[in-house]
Amino acid sequence: MPALPCTSLCFLAALGVAASSAFDITNQSMGLDWQSSNATVGVVDLHGATWKLSFEDHFDRLDRAVWRVTDDCSTQGGCIHNDEKQVYLKDQVFVQDGHLVVEAVDRAHASPNAGSRQYRSGKLDTSTSFNQQFGIFEARIQLPQGGPGIWPAFWLMPHGGRCWPMDGEIDIMEYVGKTPDDVYGNYHFGGGCNANRHYDSNVCGPTGASYGLPLRQGGFHTYKVVWTPGAIHWFVDDHEFYSLPPRGCRNPALFFLPTKPFYLILNLAVGGSWPGDPTSATSFPQRMLVDYVKVYSYLGGSIDTTIMRHSTSSPGTTRAAASPATINTTNI
């Protein structure tokens, strides 16, 4: 993938849930209908509609034909983004005890492309094997123990997309160790290269939110988005905490939701413009564990957002956002 010069903003703001109580969409899945060797193909009813399982991996093994694992800079168009301090290496991604492990360690690495890096970590994606337009994208994840500078994420990027963020970016889950009980959902978009309108209140106001959980107690949580042609809904443990489009969009003609097929990304960054750098309070190794990843395509039915919003009681709390932080990248 060619380098995509861009500037990504991680401004997570307070929100209001926006959408009608029910709406119909047509089947727009354009991804590869793929399952891992461990997948259970089936049709399910979720959120008042019918969906087909189109991708599933329970990580009994790491299938490198499905997951492209970044190794230094050789499998990416760029190297270091967002002023991060890690280098991604293939040995930092592996399967252990039935879980995908993405591990960050405090061990220097002399990268031929990125120079000397203080930390090693892992990143993997499905850019060469699976992508889908619209659907449910879900993963069950145990986050790292945290601390300053720790930044795991589960997110989506457009397959064959133009210069960032012209075709959008959906961040299903982001976590920064300096706010140890919050997870974040976010959407980036723009009309040109580096023109991230995500934070511009003259366009549509905030396009991100945080959700409070007792994350320091450990354990797995389920993170997902339900993405349709007219809306994106973010969930933690089946509790909806955010949706787009937002209410009160001042210039709705400038706001758009993504339409291209998107692929999956999992990574664990160390340091950067948003999380800050590790300190003496940050211990290593840090591990993000992934129990499964699932994707569903839409088959039919009326999606009831009232059901989505109130289907599950949750111990979590929707948060006001952190302060904006500009994230400079040369390639996503």
Residues forming the active site: 169, 174
Residue whose entry in the numeric block shows the structure tokens 């400079």 = 328
Report CA dihedral (46, 48, 49, 50) to the nearest 10 degrees: 50
Q: What is the DSSP letter of 305?
A: H
95-118 burial code (b ≥16 CB/10 A, e <16): eeeebbbbbbbeeebebeebeebe
152-178 burial code (b ≥16 CB/10 A, e <16): bbbbbbbbebebbbbbbbbbbbbbbbb
Q: Which residues contact 200 (CB under 8 A, 6 or more apart)?
A: none
- Quick check: 195 and 4 in contact, CB under 8 A? no
Residues listed for the chain: 332
Distance, CA of 265 to CA of 87 (rounded, Å): 16
Rounded to the nearest 5°, which phi and psi values hold at 92? -90, 5
> How many distinct helices (H) and strands (E) make up the chain?
1, 25
- Pick the closest to residue 242 from 293, 174, 292, 145 (CA basis): 174
Q: Which residues contact 49 (CB under 8 A, 6 or more apart)?
A: 298, 299, 300, 301, 302, 303, 304
Could you please report the per-residue DSSP string of 1-63?
-----EEEE-----------SEEE------S-----TT----EEEETTEEEEEEEEE--SS--
- Quick check: 144 and 152 in contact, CB under 8 A? yes
